Chain A
């Protein structure tokens, strides 16, 4: 056993060498550093994101490798589809969530608030990110940045969005020249969005005026005759696939927007309904459509 003999021979100086480090403050520091190193090295943050907008935000921050679980609704960017699913938007499997051993679960509000509550009682930290305004969106992005250690990317993303929005806002027409718009979320029954919804702020930045600016709730059912009476210049249809039938719907021909063909149905609803990184693109597309119509009427005159 030559090796053992070796150890024995060097025992004396080694102990002295160790003794220096084994003094209390050093010991603690050393252990802490080791723990930190281990966490960083082998156990990256494990995040479960239950809403499409938050998944998009995490990807935009470059934190995609930390995501270990998403909902079936999280379909953008395409890579999100290959992440394990823990359920759809409002039905999630708590067992799957536990099995994925997450450090934190990110949910949205509304329908998901009771899921958030349930996960919290299991001792898993939950953050709710449900922005209703751009300020809240920036806060949400900052929060996600802090959680994932990507604060710099978060700041960059926010400033990019702010620059893009500032550009859009600078091109806005005077308030009394803005066309009115009706936002259709569902056709049957007729559901619209109003103050308190992200959508409302989005269309305002795109240069439109909501014909229902002050409904009691962010999303409400309204009657068709009320829409006809308000007579919007534009219709924004977010109810996918039913768009072909707008012209066919009885009574809708009374609305200026339908008469003049000012129906926006080509914008991907996900761009506008998800308070995520692509919202700026959605708003950009909306204002581009508004401007193109403006030019057409001007050249017509």
Chain B
């Protein structure tokens, strides 16, 4: 852990924290209701801003981890079927519980994410070894298989399905007591585990051979990281549905700005992801008031141009 802390660039971190705090204030101050009272801000806006921060941070962290393990720039929390698994779990939980409820979503979401990740890992494993290419292939195939199963379940149980369908479109208003706390705990555990293995992630992203030569238990590290990231994704999907783009784009943006070292990449991504989702959700709430726009649309609309801007800037510089 010491080496992780030593690697952190305090200045960068402070700047990112300052931006995050600023966006929290923006999120609290700006809303569809212009002269909101203290009660409304504390009991309605604050939970939502917190939720956005936790979900955004969790997604960005999981994205950084998946991109690191899979050595694939297109990897995100959705790529190896983790979130499709969570969605299927939530759908099944909803049917079992007759409605979307916090506990059925959490149990279903995390169990689904875990089972699918485990299945992907088992499929990809050849003689106690799971090569990256096989992992990605198994993940992509499993992902579409699980999505098809979700569709099947949804067409068999249409009444519950419409609820699940709308829920998965993504919304950040916490819907039950303890949702924020539970998600926070899972995201923090996942983030700490990922950060703890940041050095191994650095070496892993250099290639498995190098990692093996440097004495890293590749399989073990990869498995631990896979499951901790799945847990983050499962709980985040259970809390807020499928919010795309944050997990894919934030690690890239952070890598462009502060470098590829996972010891800084992971904490910086978490802060940047939280910031982006808070700002996007503030837009989603206010831009067409009183109508609310699904936040996933806003993340894609804001994230993609910013990413292109960074790419172009780097090409010129």
Of A191, A222, A223, the residue contacting B166 (CB under 8 A) is A191
B58 to chain A, nearest CB (A): 19
* A contact residues, range: 35 or more
B40 touches A254 (CB 8 A): yes
B294 to chain A, nearest CB (A): 7
Of A188, A212, A249, the residue contacting B167 (CB under 8 A) is A188
Of A220, A225, A241, A245, the residue contacting B291 (CB under 8 A) is A220
The 6 closest A-B pairs by CB, nearest first: A189-B171, A241-B99, A229-B33, A226-B290, A251-B44, A242-B99
B44 touches A228 (CB 8 A): yes
Residues of B within 8 A of A225 (CB): 31-33, 36, 40, 44-45, 285
Q: How far is the CA of A168 from the CA of B263 in the complex (A)?
A: 69
Known: A73-B158, A242-B100, A245-B101. A223 touches B289 (CB 8 A): yes
Some 19 contacts from A to B, beta carbons below 8 A apart, are A88-B155, A187-B100, A188-B100, A189-B167, A189-B170, A189-B294, A190-B171, A191-B166, A220-B290, A221-B294, A225-B36, A226-B32, A229-B32, A241-B99, A242-B101, A250-B47, A250-B176, A250-B177, A251-B47
Specify the chain B residue showing the minimal Cβ separation from A214.
Answer: B290
Tell me the total A-B contact number using a CB cutoff of 8 A. 106
Task: Give chain A's interface residues, CB within 8 Å of chain B.
Answer: 72-73, 88-89, 91, 186-191, 212, 215-217, 220-226, 228-229, 239-242, 245, 248-251, 253-254
Residues of B within 8 A of A249 (CB): 175-176
Q: What is the interface of chain B mostly: helix, strand, loop, or mixed?
A: loop
B37 to chain A, nearest CB (A): 9
A91 touches B155 (CB 8 A): yes
A237 to chain B, nearest CB (A): 11
Q: Which of A212, A224, A226, A241 has the most CB of B within 10 A?
A: A224
A223 touches B292 (CB 8 A): yes
B98 touches A188 (CB 8 A): no
State which residues 34-53 of B face A: CB under 8 Å: 36, 39-40, 43-45, 47
Interface size on B, residues (CB 8 A): 39
Residues of B within 8 A of A223 (CB): 31-32, 173, 285, 289-290, 292
Q: How far is the CA of A95 from the CA of B237 in the complex (A)?
A: 38
A248 touches B40 (CB 8 A): no
The contact string, 1 if C-beta is below 8 Å from chain A, for chain B 69-112, is 00000000000000000000000000000111100000000000
Specify the chain B residue showing the minimal Cβ separation from A249.
Answer: B175
Known: A226-B33, A226-B290, A242-B101. A189 touches B166 (CB 8 A): yes
Whether a CB of chain A sits under 8 angstroms from the CB of B129 is no
Whether a CB of chain A sits under 8 angstroms from the CB of B208 is no
A224 touches B44 (CB 8 A): yes
Known: A73-B158, A241-B99. A190 touches B163 (CB 8 A): no
Known: A221-B294, A226-B289. A254 touches B155 (CB 8 A): no
The contact string, 1 if C-beta is below 8 Å from chain A, for chain B 167-197, is 1011101111101000000000000000000
Of A187, A189, A254, the residue contacting B39 (CB under 8 A) is A254
A136 to chain B, nearest CB (A): 24
B33 to chain A, nearest CB (A): 4
Q: How far is the CA of A215 from the CA of B101 in the complex (A)?
A: 28
B292 touches A222 (CB 8 A): yes
Residues of B within 8 A of A216 (CB): 288, 291
Residues of A within 8 A of B98 (CB): 241
Contacts beyond the supplied A223-B285, A226-B290, A239-B163: 9 A-B pairs with Cβ under 8 Å: A186-B162, A186-B163, A187-B100, A222-B292, A223-B32, A242-B99, A250-B47, A251-B43, A254-B40
B173 touches A190 (CB 8 A): yes
Residues of B within 8 A of A220 (CB): 290-291
B158 touches A88 (CB 8 A): yes
Whether a CB of chain A sits under 8 angstroms from the CB of B159 is yes
Residues of B within 8 A of A190 (CB): 171, 173, 292
B169 touches A189 (CB 8 A): yes
Residues of A within 8 A of B167 (CB): 188-189
A73 to chain B, nearest CB (A): 7
Residues of A within 8 A of B294 (CB): 189, 221
Known: A189-B166, A240-B99. A89 touches B44 (CB 8 A): no
A85 to chain B, nearest CB (A): 12
Q: How far is the CA of A254 from the CA of B294 in the complex (A)?
A: 24
Of A72, A186, A191, A248, the residue contacting B176 (CB under 8 A) is A248
State which residues 135-183 of B face A: CB under 8 Å: 155, 158-159, 162-163, 166-167, 169-171, 173-177, 179
